[in-house]
Amino acid sequence: MNDAIDIKSLTITQAKKDLAAKKYSSVELTKAYLERIKKVEPKVNAFITVTEEEALKSAKEADAQIAKGEDKALLGIPLSIKDNFSTLDIRTTASSKVLDKYKPPYDATVLTKLKDSGMVMLGKTNMDAWAHGSSTETSDYGTTRNPWNTDHLPGGSSGGAAASVAADEAIAAIGSETAGSIRQPANWCGVVGLKPTYGRVSRYGVIAMGSSLDSPGPITRTVEDSALLLQILAGQDPHDATTSPTAVPDYLKNLKKDIKGLKIGISDDYFEGVDPEVKATVEQAIKTLEKLGAVVKKVKLFPPKYAIAVYTIIQRAEVSSNLARFDGIRYGNNRSTFGDEAKRRIMLGTYTLSAGYYDQYYNKALKVRTVIIENFAQAFKDVDVIVGPTSPTTAMKIGATEGQSMFGELADVLVEPSSIAGLSGINMPVGFSKAGLPIGMQIIGPQFAEEIVLNVAYQYEQENPLYKIKPEL
Amino acid sequence: MKIDVSRVAQLANLPLTADEKKKLAAQLEETLTYIDQLNEVDTKNILPTSQVTGLENVLAEDIAQPSLTQQAALANAQATDKGFFKVKGIFSDE
């Protein structure tokens, strides 16, 4: 192995410089990650499929292009992809046995964009089956372990994605969030997780969970890498009519701007019932933002508990519709192969959409959704961003979800309101508990305010660069 | 309120065992009790939101685009016949 490669300190930004300076080749870099995967996977189980052969082939092609002086945003950079993104001719399971042998006949738009940018895909990462959950315990391919303590959960549903970055099995990962599925595992694994505004990144080819909520996004070590990846992913897609025509700004341009005078909102409701260690650490992080010149203001947000109820109804309803297409005829196995969690969600969704109950549940939820959206809009008249803890606790122990039909919703109580309103948000690592588990702070912005969210996160990261601390594995 | 689990399973085309039905009945009741909290929120004169970024009537030109070949479309099917998906008979058991 090339000694110039130190995967424990690598970021996309650094690896690009190194590749350009010919310190090592993309093949050497890719091999280093494949070796790391072989070494730590027995402990972590972040991947469902490792695409070694294809990865080395892409790396070789990247090296040839680098030799010709080509410059692409991700040329030769090895990433992991969550297993709910359709990948042409490469097994895509969404962690469910229903799709055990499924090989998509096309690429998701996100994949097309990453490939066009020169990415090397290392493999497909584990998740909660169909993205239903916040632990990876509902995966049909085993639970992913938290790299900081393998007796603990990585969070979910993008648990494999977050763990692959924390465990240095990939420079960065692509995940997806419906309500918490990027920010919560990023929080529990101590990495940066960006949930873009709904419609900022195309859902075409992503195995659908909640179509009015699903937002693909990057999981990275640093904020700069997050901005770099969002730049590639963002934009209108003719294949997804819900993508926005709103112009995509240059996310790297204003990243390093100071945040003097920026108004930051905090809401007491978001600190209620939060673990004291998490609360104290996030309060400390807010003080850091104040030190950087930000002005902290109290805002009154709608109690998050109602967001759980709204989310539960809308998401289960959309799940029951989306999973109706799995008939076992055109592709995949038959409907008896759904796991318990999927069955539970399909049943609740079917019930709330059925004749006589639609108004009582689904329509009511859509109205409360309006109330939540208006509440955030009101708050953003006074402040630029809102900050608070990402989750009420640090990573829970393996097995915590046993018999808990509302586990995910309670773990994601603090991120569900912003997801329902389609807002942008990020998880920033801000410290560790006494037990050595990561603690995260979320920064929420209005719709299409990723630029501001990334700017605040970047400035915080300069004060407290926790990405330099790595788990022992 | 009692949920007719068998009927909902039929609507969802979901094969469930007797045990699963029993377990699900209890879990669904529990979830419904939780979501009943929404009744505490006054939604009089409030319109429902389905699309959060406000897009409406997104249209595209009706032009044929390249699409999957017959072979690619059938590649993942459990059973095919002469280039078609093979399914169970609807009016017979064939």
The candidate with the shortest Cα–Cα distance to A29, out of A90, A102, A73, A79, is: A79
The 10s digit of each residue's pLDDT in A101-147 is 999 999 999 999 999 999 999 999 999 999 999 999 999 999 999 99
Question: Does the distance separating the beta carbons of A406 and B34 come in below 8 Å?
Answer: yes
CB distance A275 to A394 below 8 Å? yes
Q: For residue B53, give the nearest of A350, A351, A422 by CB distance.
A: A422
Q: Is residue A473 part of a domain?
A: no
Q: Any long-range contacts for A322-325 (C-beta under 8 Å, 24+ apart)?
A: A322/A208, A322/A209, A322/A210, A322/A211, A323/A130, A324/B12, A324/B13
Token representation of residue A434? 């006494």
Question: Does the distance separating the beta carbons of B15 and A103 come in below 8 Å?
Answer: no
Across residues A61-90, what is the average pLDDT? Answer: 97
Pairing of strands A192-195, A215-220: antiparallel
Q: Which residues in chain B are contacts of A332 at CB distance < 8 A? A: 76
Q: Is residue A2 part of a domain?
A: no
Confidence of residue B1 (pLDDT cuts 50, 70, 90): low
The pLDDT of residue B90: 82
Rounded CA-CA distance A175/A181 in Å is 8
Q: For residue B38, give the nearest of A306, A336, A421 by CB distance.
A: A306
Provide the residue type at A181 as one letter: S
Q: Which residues in chain B are contacts of A329 at CB distance < 8 A? A: 77-78, 85, 87
- CA of A371: how far to CAs of A250, A362, B47, in Å? 32, 15, 9
Chain A 239-258, CB below 8 Å of chain B: which residues? 241-242, 244, 246
Confidence of residue A411 (pLDDT cuts 50, 70, 90): confident
The pLDDT of residue A1: 67
CB distance A87 to A81 below 8 Å? yes
Residue B64 forms contact with A (CB below 8 Å): no
CB distance A441 to A287 below 8 Å? no
Chain A 364-403, CB below 8 Å of chain B: which residues? 364-371, 373
Peptide bond connecting A157 to the previous residue in cis, omega within 30 degrees of 0: yes
Across residues B57-61, what is the average pLDDT? Answer: 91
Share of chain A above pLDDT 90, in %: 95
For residue A444, what are the β-bridge partners? A386, A425
Query: Which residues of A have a catalytic role annotated?
Result: 82, 157, 181
- CA of B60: how far to CAs of A203, A239, A244, B22, B67, in Å? 17, 10, 14, 47, 16
If one counts the domains in chain A, the total is 1
CB pairs under 8 A between A and B: 139
Rounded CA-CA distance A375/A152 in Å is 35
Which residue does chain A place closest to B1, by CA atoms? A357
**Domain range for A53:** 7-468
ipTM computed for the complex: 0.94
Hey, is A346 helix, strand or coil? helix
Q: Is residue A174 part of a domain?
A: yes
Q: Which residues in chain A are contacts of B76 at CB distance < 8 A? A: 101-103, 105, 330-332
Q: Is residue A198 part of a domain?
A: yes
Q: Any long-range contacts for B27-31 (C-beta under 8 Å, 24+ apart)?
A: B27/A344, B27/A405, B28/A344, B28/A347, B28/A348, B28/A351, B28/B3, B29/B1, B29/B3, B30/A405, B30/A406, B31/A312, B31/A348, B31/A405, B31/A406
Average model confidence (pLDDT) across chain A: 96
Enter the pTM of the model.
0.97
Q: Write the CATH number for A183.
A: 3.90.1300.10
Distance from CA of B90 to the nearest CA of A (A): 14
Residue A225 pLDDT exceeds 60? yes
Token representation of residue A317? 């309803």
Residue B68 forms contact with A (CB below 8 Å): yes
Q: Is residue A1 part of a domain?
A: no
Hey, is A206 helix, strand or coil? strand
Q: Is residue A368 part of a domain?
A: yes
Residue B94 pLDDT exceeds 60? no
Q: Is residue A416 part of a domain?
A: yes
Across residues B40-60, what is the average pLDDT? Answer: 95
Which residue does chain B place closest to A421, by CA atoms? B52
Average model confidence (pLDDT) across chain B: 92
Residue A197 pLDDT exceeds 90? yes
Residue B11 forms contact with A (CB below 8 Å): yes
Rounded CA-CA distance B44/A286 in Å is 37
CB distance A95 to A141 below 8 Å? yes
Which residue does chain A place closest to B55, by CA atoms? A242
